Structure 1
Amino acid sequence: MRKAVSIFSRILLGILLLLTLAPFYLLVINSFKGQTEIIKTPFQLAVNWQFMNYAKALPQVVRPMLNSLLVTFAVILITVVVSMLASYAFVRYESFFGKELLYYGIIALLMIPGFVMLIPQFVQITNLGLFNSYWGLILPPAAYQVAMGTFLTRSSMEAISKSLFEAAEIEGAGDMDILLKVVLPLSKPILSTVTIMTGLNAWNNYIWPLVASSGEATQQIAVALTKLIVSVSDGNGVLFAGYIIASLPLVILFCFASKYFVAGITQGAVKG
């Protein structure tokens, strides 16, 4: 019985893997085709490889990618730093006024759908003179990501033995020393998870950049991909090439942080 369940599980995982990889496979092979070949043989490798698709897509996505890299890096940096500091305060200072109320307020923020906050945030950045600026694109998403990051990171830090903190205090370490030399090394898995999740959300964010910016100066990659200019003969091949180019930073981010990603999810989900 157990063997049958194991075989069924593997078959199911194999099917799910194929369903997950199939769209990416189609995206890659069709990015090297002309429109006619895409329509006739969408599932086969290209006969006439159209490398010009990438040459035509690249100039249109370079500037938006640089803009998105800047915004994504800033959102990740703010999220990781603030989440870590806030989580450390929640774990180490057990009796400050309003601690639990503040924490549950952070959790409540995660329950609010993003589109509900769209108009208030737009009015706020407009009144602050941040419309069509990098800060206007960075701060609202970072505020939401900090809430998620704090929720995950606090759960992870609560699993750290108090004896480690006490030993560090006996050695004369201050809060900053404890944070950097004790907590940070032990929090690498969850911080890697927060980094990947934040990076994905910031890079793929479409609605907020569409609302909070105009023109090409601060245009984000998710918006730029909807405006790729292609000829009738090029068709979807150029679009697919643009999508492939735009996904490369996320692939690189995941490759660097994947070592701790799964461990971080488990660590952040389990208390005690």
Structure 2
Amino acid sequence: MPLIPNLDGQANVLIAGASRGIGLALCSTLLASDEVARLWAISRTATHNDALARLATQHGKRLVLIDCDAREEQALATMATELKAQCDHLHLVISTLGTLHQDGAKPEKSLAQLDLASLQASFASNAFAPILLLKHLLSFLRNNPATFAALSARVGSIGDNRLGGWYSYRASKAALNQLLHTASIELRRLNPAATIMALHPGTTDTDLSRPFQGNVPAGKLFDPAFAAQCVIEQVQRFGPADSGGFWAWDGQAIEW
């Protein structure tokens, strides 16, 4: 099965949020595949990350490291310019950008815990960064088979929300889903061979989930390597006819 539907040949791949967790596992797994010609690993400190440095030593020129804070649009524009000097088309982009807790702030359990700064931070990382990444990479996704996948979360589903809480995280992931679905309609006109997808990777053993793992059912806490493999399997499974959809790690559709 090709890395993405309808792709004949090797793929140029970009992973955003590549320095840890699922993003790092995706880099490792994809570089081990002969289907990947070259991979660009994007993160705030990509060129200073020990794990990425080890991969670079192992894979040589097949791995390119670029420092970019995706929360800053000018940084994304600069990254795209640097990328343009190295390739003219990307076949697969996976965004693992996002945050659940930062700077001591925790997911809100009640309205009383909401504050503007936390809301803005959640939307900046979880919704705005991935869609602005797509904006600045749009020219790389034309004319050939291409997939843009962004990691979302089941808690971003409005229809599946039965517990409440986690206001800013839920809302920012719901916003991401809407942004991706809207972009899929535009991209369908620009490139009928392109696919945009929102993916829930399951609860994964990363820094993001670590403070909340106590409530995860047995067998439902995934290793990053397993989560990365599941993401890749969904990328292989869903093509242009499915563009704009929202799926779980096992390929099951998630209600909006």
User: What's the TM-score, normalizing by structure 1?
Assistant: 0.26
Answer 1 or 2: which has greater strand percent: 2
Q: Which has the higher contact order (CA 8 A, sep 6+)?
A: 1
In terms of fraction of residues, the more helix-rich structure is 1
Largest Rg, 1 or 2: 1
TM-score by length of 2: 0.27
